[in-house]
Every structure is written in C-alpha cells, then in structure tokens.
Structure 1
C-alpha cells in the first residue's frame, strides 16, 4: 500500500467506523452537512461564477488514455441556456485495455488502500458541494436547494454508505488462516491458506439525467472500493456534474500512486450513443443503471456477461383509507407531488381513494372533496411564485414537458398544469403538477409510469379494493415507494402486509416534515430489489458483495 493511501485511510478511519456502525443501527448520522451554512461562505458565493468559468470551452480531465475519438457536448440547461462545454470521448478499446492493466495494482493494494482513496474522494467532493450543485442544477433542472442537497451531501452519503458496506464485506475475509484437522493418534493435517479479494472486472455506471450524482455514486464507490475500475457513462444531457466528480477521483488516485484511468469518463451524444456497445463488451463485468424500464430490461437480458444492478421505474402508490387531519395530509402530499416537478423515482403517481369517501376527525369527506382538497393544497403550496420555482425546479427534458399535454386526456382534470416564469431564468421549463381523476376501471391510464408532474386520484370500491389494485399494479410494474393513510390499526397492518407482498417500502401516515419521496442514507433502503422497479437496493450487502470474488490458495503447513 502506498503511504499516501494509508494516510488517507487513517485520516478518515473514524468516519468509516461510524458509517459501519450506523448501517447496523439505522440511526440518523452524516459527516456531510446538508445546510449551506456549514460550508465556507466564499465557496457558496463563488459557485455560480465558477460554473460560468467552465462554460463554452473544453473540460479537461487528469487522465487521457490514448486517442480521443472526438469531442462531444451539447448540454442545455433546463433553465434556458446552452452550456457550450465539450468533453473528450476516449477510444473505448484503448480505455478498457488501460484499465485492465491498472486493475492489477489496484487489486493488489488491498482493501485499506482502496477504501482510503474512496473516502478521500468523497471528502473532496463534499468540499466542492456548492460548485457541484450549480452543475447539477443546470443539467438536471433541480431547484438550487435540492441540487445542493441531493447533488452534494446526500449523494456523498450514499457513496459513503456503499463504501461502508464494501469495507464490511471485505473485512469478513481474512488474508490468511492455518487450518488444522486433528487425526487422533496421528499427526494433524495442517494447511496454510491464503484468501485474495479479486475484483470481477471493469464496472460501467450508466447515469441518469435527473439525479446525475445521487444515482451514480453508490455504484461507482461500491465497485471502486472492491477493486473494479469504473467507466462513468453520463447521460448526454447531464455530463458536467459527473465530469467534475471523475476529475476529483482521478486527482486522488494519482496522488495515491495509482493510475487515474481507474475512474474514467465516457461521454456520448444522443445521436451517437455508446451504452449498448460498452455494455456488451466482454471486459465489462458490472453494470449500474438508472433509467427507463425498456433499457434496463434490455441490459438485463443482453449484457449477460455482467452483473446488472438496475433501478428502473414503477407505479408509486398512495392508499388513503382514513385520516385525522385532511389538511395536514394533503399539504404533505402536495409537497411530494410538487418537489422537482415529479421527476423523482420516488414521486407518487397513483392515489387510491374509496369512491364513497373517507372518514376524518372532522367527519366524512367525499371522494370528490378529497381530490379537491389535494388540488387546493398544491395550489396553496405553489401560490408564491418564487417558492414554487424553487421547489418545482425545471423540467429536464422536452419529452417530459410534452408528456404533460399528452396526459391531459387520460382523466378528468382536478388541477391543470400551469407554466410558471422564473424571475432570473425567463426561458426555464417550469410547470406545476397535473392531477387527474379516474375510475379504478381505467387502469390503462394510471398503471403506466407517467414520468413528470402527472398523478391520478383513483376511485375504488373501498380500501380493500384499493389494496388489491395496488397489489396487482405494483406486482406487475413495481414501485420504489408506497404510502398509506389510516386511523385503523387493522388497516395499518394490512398495508404493512401489502408492503411485504409487493416488496415496496411503506411510509404510513406522513403529515409533517418527512415525505414519501425522501430517502435517508444509512437508514432507509432505497428500493428493495424485490419488484420490477429495481433489481437492487441502495444500499445493502447484496449491492456490494457480488462485486468481488474470493480466490484462495492452500499448501501443506506445519503446526505451531
């Protein structure tokens, strides 16, 4: 192990130990504060100008493997301007060949060196959080606060969580052991055994446009910590945040005495995509993917030489049986439906309500009035335009923007989507939620994912019918989140049972400052890997344990 890597491990050992303890206790903890006030004021103020200094020019990385086939770019901020940044696209074959050579030293360095480097990368990324937030905001369309939290410290939390699981899994394997089998009157049989943690091979991380860092860091750090070189393949619309992240990783790797190509960027364009070609390369042994069902399924079915960890999409559902305070419940749901314009894999889409209405502490409320209360809550929450623009963010893609119009005819409009104007970015794509009312029989409308600010209030026969419908839809299409509201403990148990049956995490009776589409690292398991929406969870032992194998050697030894 190089001294630099050992120093990195020693420097961050306390954080590592705390992370390992916390994934067992599942308590709240983070070494990366989510408040901007915890970061140097100068860094926060300088972040917008730092972004401007990167625009309209080539982005340079530490590592340059072989010849660059071309320069790619074309990112356009959802807030209405072109970034004008170009990136080197390395030759895939040359890059893979270089990574295969570099992997040997990375493997032989051992778990402490690899984990030490990963922890140092995360520490430096955390210090850059204000700057990374600007890159996330102007590629994903997230609002400024969300871009800072989700793109910075929360993403780093998930990366650290993956490193903690990787360290825990590797630490369970001893480097050597002496095996002594008694033979009665005869001398015992003695074998000296050595155990090697061996990476599977090159890892490909296929990133999404909406959460470029949050969804990328878990796979990146899980693979890197366990010895696998990582190719980061960003979405063509959100390259910059990952280019910045890769540059930091390459800087740390170089300082620690390793080949910086161990983490490399492979950008492409919409017109000339590379993901399928990369995914089918025999050297690619691990693939992390976040995105559409169609492409996730394609990877699983075709990239058979690789372990594929896929987070796709599902029909996130809310079942309303009864509530204490309807205003508090609808205010909570209004935030969930509005946050980042529904462009989250955790945003509710299907809200099941009995057609005969629900009971509240203030009396019976009809189905139509429940739907109207939800619409009113969204309107009230977004009544201040500045706050609305901050919470809604901007629509990342033109396809998502078009989907709003496409969905208007799928049901009765309870709340129409409005276009809003941003005070500082007049060309920003900002739209409020569209809420539709449908009958349970209109399953074709609500049982397909409608990514973006589109949701359905579904009239069912009763709560048992709501549960049955959710069971059927989630069983077929999957879900990342499931929410429920009831004042009846027996119904609460039925919802708990439903959650286990469809393998979707349940949030029950949320009416305060926690929302169904939030997921806390070290405590919440994001997705379960148990339904069609995802075949892996962020993050658990299964997410890291298959990224390496244990190769042993043995020889005759002598007893002590």
Structure 2
C-alpha cells in the first residue's frame, strides 16, 4: 500500500510515495542502533535541553505544520495550530521535569546504600494513527528521548508528510543524527520491526484490532508494550446539572477534531429530569454548526479524514436506526465531494444496536436514557472500552464519588476529558494498558534498576 496525502475536503491526491523495501528499513534501523548508546550516555540534563529545543522548532514552523495537518486529515486549521503548540508544551514539560522524574530514588534497606536507578531501555518503536498526527507522536517521543531512548516511527499511511516532517523537526532542533527516524514501511512490515532485536519496546495508539496484533507480537518477543486504543467515553448529565453548560461542553467534546478523537464524549447518558431539555438544546446547538472548509476560521466542523471512514460510520448509524435508534438531526450521507458527514445525534440508543456496542469514530453523538444516577453509572460501565468519562452535576462531591466508580483511565467532573502532560493518560479494558504523560509516562520505557551497595 502506497503512502498518499489526500485532501479530505476535495479528494485531491497531493503526495504519493512508495513504501520502503527491506534494504531501506535495515539501513534506518542500523543507523538508529548505532546512535543509541551515545544518546543513552548523554547526561540527562543535556538530553532535556535538546528536547526543549524541539519545542522552539515546532513553534517556528507552527503555521506550516498546521497547514499540513489540515490538508492531510481535514482538521480545522485553528485546532491544528493548537496541536502543534501542545506538542511544544509536552517537550518543555519533560525538559523541565524529566530529570527529576529520572533521578535516583534512595531506598532505606540493610545495605550501606540502596537505590532505584531509572535507565533507558534502547530503541522504542511507535505505531501511530492519523487523527492527531503530531501530538500522538510527541507525547511518546518527548519522554522517551529525555529518558535516553531512541525512537523509530511507523505512522499511518495517509499522513506521510506529517511523518517525514516530525523526523525533520527533531533533526533540525539539533538532536544527534539518527536519534529518531521515521520508517516509511507498510503495516505488514511492522511485525518484522517488532521482531528485530534492536527494538526494545513498542508503543501503539490506534484501533483495538491493531492493538491486539501489536501486543501479541511484542509479547511473543518478550518486549514491553504500551497501548492506547479506542474509547466510547460516557458523558453523564445528572438532574441537578447546569444543562446549558453541559450542552456547550458536549458540543466541544464530541465534535473536536471533526468527531475523530479517542477521548471525545461519545455516549451521552442522561437522567430523566433533564433528558428532553438536554436533547433539544443539543439539537439546536448542533444544527447551528458551520460545516465546511477546515482552513476557514469560521468553520466549526470539517470533513472526516477519509471517505471510507465516513462511509463506515454511516453504515453503523443506518444499522442502528434500523435496530430502533432515533435520528434527532443529521445522519445523512452527503452527495458532494470530500469526506464530509453532518454533525449528528442519535437518541434512544440501546443494547444490541451497533451505536451502543461499537465506537462511532466521527461526528455522531449518541444518547442513552438512564432511569436514575445509579443506572447511569451502570450504563457508563457497560462498555468494553474504558478510556475516559465525564460527570456533570451541581454537587462536586457527588460528582467525584461517581467519577471514582467509572471504569476508565481518566474521569472528569464538570469538565471535558482531555490529555495533559501533567497527568497520566491511558485506559483500561479494551482501551489498552500502560500510561503516557506525567511521571508515569516517562517511567514506562525505563529499566527501574535496583542498585544495592554494602
């Protein structure tokens, strides 16, 4: 399968590249392997400052890189600029805090001296998706590089120019040659890279099937893996919530990145006292959204990344409607160029419907009606996914109590779920395992070595 950049607004192909063969792959892996010992031996303070320089390079090229994101995946240009700034933030965060996270940890024992030393593993393979083509790479790369690991990237086939630009940014920031390389390989070649003894660990953000395949291969090679997979995040609104505030947050969370975010609110679970009011206000808010050119500052929803993804989403919606879900707004397949899909709401979604059982990765919100707060929690937890979740209520203590009961990696009260370099990020159940970001993220790909001295 070739690497192609296709503008999802128009369907125009504006970049084409054939995948590497075995010789090119081997040359890149050999070059990274040669660079790995020197980078690991570089003092952590110097590694941190090198990663800080990446932030400056990202900001210097922010508009150019944001334009590339918009053209490759249809992300609103202002959101793409925000993505680049967030990448700069994560680089600066680990430049500031990484050396402290990696400092020796003294432990009181019967030895004269005992401690835990955090040392790099080697080269980490990252298999990354297209929906946040820079952020999802840098949230792995920044901590991994500060920790003294090198990295190789297998990016999605529809964002080849973003993949190449990431390597270029890291190189131009001044990091040693071959500390980080992009592998322009086919998905079918990933197994061979995981098998390669020069690869120490694997991280993947992507679909549940991809996660199962990569985790199985890593396990067969006895290599550490971190997985961030899909999500079907609940958004619980209780009777005492500020409905207008919740509706505004719902629109932001569900339709960010044109509805293509793992941690977007997807299942809107409403208690009886506010359900009809919420749905009506949400309908008006959604129908007022401006759909169009993602490069225009006034656009609120752009196209999905690919027409095949848009068509599959519509099939999920149509199947759910046939099984009893009710269309509130949208849910029609446009007869126009590009991968556009209208902002949509499905109400009365129930068990057995595809919208209930599966993740809808696009601009479709689904409404589940709960009998009461306890039923809302049961509905929220009645999913095989467990990435994020949110609770809306006037009683923050009650909200926190419910948040603690949600089976997910991140639970927010009166706020939309988001990733933040200061907080660990990841899921449970079919949403994956391991953590990115914060102290927990940088310590995923290190050897926590006991040193005991008498």
TM-score by length of 2: 0.86
Aligned 1:76-475 pairs, distance under 5 A:
76-80=6-10, 81-86=12-17, 89=20, 91-150=24-83, 152-172=84-104, 198-253=119-174, 258=176, 260-269=177-186, 273-304=188-219, 305-323=222-240, 325-354=242-271, 357-358=272-273, 365=274, 367-382=275-290, 390-406=299-315, 407-410=317-320, 411-417=325-331, 427-442=337-352, 445-473=355-383
Given that 2:269 and 2:368 are in contact with CA atoms closer than 8 Å, whether structure 1 keeps it comes out as yes
Q: Give a deviation string over 1:422-446, Cα, whole Å, max 9, x none.
A: xxxx844222222111254446531
**Alignment partners' CA distance in 2, 1:554 and 1:457:** 57
2 CA distance for matches of 1:440 and 1:195? 50
Contact 1:385 1:420 in 2 (8 A): no
Residues 327/121 of structure 1: CA separation in 2 closer, same or farther (3 Å cut): closer
* Equivalent position SS for 2:125: strand
Within 5 A, what are the aligned runs for 1:472-551?
A: 472-473=382-383, 476-479=384-387, 481-488=388-395, 491-499=398-406, 502-510=407-415, 516-522=416-422, 524-527=423-426, 529-549=427-447
Q: Is the 8 A contact 1:72 1:268 kept in 2?
A: no
Relative distance call for 1:484 and 1:87 in structure 2 (3 A) is: same
Q: Secondary structure at the match of 2:148?
A: coil
- Residue 89 of structure 2 aligns to a residue in which SS? helix
Using structure 1 for the length normalisation, give the TM-score.
Answer: 0.71
Shift of 1:331: 2.8
How far, CA to CA, are the matches of 1:446 and 1:384 in structure 2? 29
Mapped to 2, the partners of 1:462 and 1:551 lie a distance apart of: 49
**For the Cα contact (< 8 Å) 2:292–2:299, is it kept in 1?**
no
Structure 1: state its 5+ residue gaps: 1-70, 182-190, 359-364, 511-515
Residue 319 of structure 1 deviates from its aligned partner by 1.2
Number of residue pairs matched? Answer: 440
Q: Which region of structure 1 is more displaced relative to structure 2, 408-417 or 325-334?
A: 325-334
Question: Quick one: distance in 2 between partners of 1:195 and 1:545?
Answer: 12
CA distance in 2, matches of 1:489, 1:194: 41
**Residues 498, 290 of structure 1: CA spacing in aligned structure 2 closer, same or farther, 3 A cutoff?**
same
Question: Residue 348 of structure 2 aligns to a residue in which SS?
Answer: strand
Q: How far apart in 2 are the matches of 1:95 and 1:343?
A: 32
The aligned counterpart of 1:35 is none
| Cα shift at 1:348 | 1.3
The answer to whether the 8 Å contact 1:504/1:531 transfers is no
Q: Is the contact made by 1:404 and 1:434 (CA closer than 8 Å) also made in structure 2? A: no
CA–CA separation in structure 1 for the residues paired with 2:291 and 2:116? 62
Secondary structure at the residue paired with 2:432? coil
Question: Conserved in 2, the CA contact under 8 Å of 1:340 and 1:394?
Answer: no
Q: CA shift at 1:124, angstroms?
A: 1.2
How far apart, in 1, do the equivalents of 2:226 and 2:396 lie? 36
Structure 1 distance, partners of 2:349, 2:451, is: 64
- Indicate how the Cα distance of structure 1 residues 197 and 319 shifts in structure 2: closer, same or farther if over 3 A, else same: closer
Select between 205-214 and 485-494 the one with higher mean Cα deviation. Answer: 485-494
Residue aligned with 1:429, SS: coil
The alpha-carbon deviation at position 202 of structure 1 amounts to 1.4
Where does structure 2 lack aligned partners over 5 or more consecutive residues? none
Return the offset for 1:448: 1.5
CA distance in 2, matches of 1:230, 1:402: 35
Per-residue deviation at 1:369? 4.5
Mapped partners of 1:145, 1:420: distance in 2: 25
CA distance in 1, matches of 2:363, 2:453: 63
| 8 Å CA contact retained: 2:51, 2:95 | yes
Q: Secondary structure at the match of 1:350?
A: strand
Shift in Å, 1:140: 2.0
The one-character-per-residue Cα deviations of 1:501-539 (angstroms, maximum 9, x if unpaired) are: x144233334xxxxx1444433x4433x44431313331
Superposition deviation, residue 72 in structure 1: 5.5
User: What's the offset of the Cα at 1:294?
Assistant: 1.1
